[in-house]
Amino acid sequence: MKQNLIGLSPAYVTALRTYLKPGSRASLQPALGLGRQAVALGLQTLGLSRIHEQALTTLKLSTNKNSMIKRAEIFFAEANIPIEETHRAARQGKVHLNRLEETLDQRTEELAATNRQLQRGVVRRKVMEDTARKCGKHHQKCLEESLQLQKRLRQLTHRVLAAQENERKNISRELQDEIAQTLLGINVRLLSLKQEARLNTRGFKDDIASTQRMVVKSVKSVRRVAREFRSL
């Protein structure tokens, strides 16, 4: 990884030099490609900014070359787009996860309230059983009522547990789908980048292929964890 980061800096210098060449109508596509490579390497905006500053120093762009500086800033902004998009996707995923956690907290409170009702029902059943033992005349009647209440409590308990299990499976499925969708989206973007990089070096393509394998492996791991979570 460190070697890849070191290799990114000269590539950035070369692309920026080509873009700033006088009379050149160079495309910003190389800047976008460098930004995507930075994302694949886990580089943030600050790290890319440092590479940009080093490139300016290497190319000896002084402050009196205002037009060059402005064009260099455009190049950097284009290279930083993939990083910003990655941050935006992460923020959206976090918001969705927070919503799921809020839903789970609400369901937990509802289940806690139901459990309290069950406990009160058990207490009432015990009181009825004690009363039945003390009252000879109404012993049989009280016993039948106690058995009926016990049956209803078992049914209610079963429904509560079933509802809790269904809620847990739904949340697990949503988490799996959300994460898998995000990873598959990254994989699609990497495929697009791989097609665009036909003229680049073999090592660059190998890095992309390696990243794709990591994404596919992550998707399989997420699904496996989700299956194990639902089977509990």
d(CA 23, CA 164) in angstroms, rounded, equals: 68
From first CA to last CA, the distance across the chain in angstroms is 38
Q: What is the pLDDT along the chain (232 residues), one digit of tens a residue?
A: 455 567 788 999 999 888 988 766 778 899 999 999 999 988 899 999 999 999 998 888 765 567 788 889 999 999 999 999 998 877 787 777 677 777 767 887 887 788 888 888 888 888 877 776 776 766 678 668 888 989 998 998 889 888 878 877 776 777 677 677 776 777 776 777 667 666 666 666 677 778 788 888 888 877 887 777 666 6
Q: Please tell me the total count of domains within the chain.
A: 1
Find, among 79, 65, 62, 86, the residue nearest to 22 by Cα.
Answer: 65
- Tokens for 78? 């284009």
- Number of helices and strands in the chain (H, E): 6, 0
Distance of alpha carbon 136 from the chain centroid: 65
Boundaries of domain holding 22: 2-231
Q: Estimate to the nearest angstrom the gap between the alpha carbon of 180 and the chain centroid.
A: 9
Contact 151, 201 (CB under 8 A): no
Residue 216: Cβ within 10 Å count: 13
Q: How open is the CA angle 136-139-145, to the nearest 5 degrees? A: 160
Q: CA–CA separation, 60 vs 151, rounded Å?
A: 85
DSSP helix/strand/coil, 56: helix
CA dihedral 166, 169, 175, 181 (to 10 degrees): -110
**What Rg do the C-alpha atoms of the chain give, in angstroms?**
31
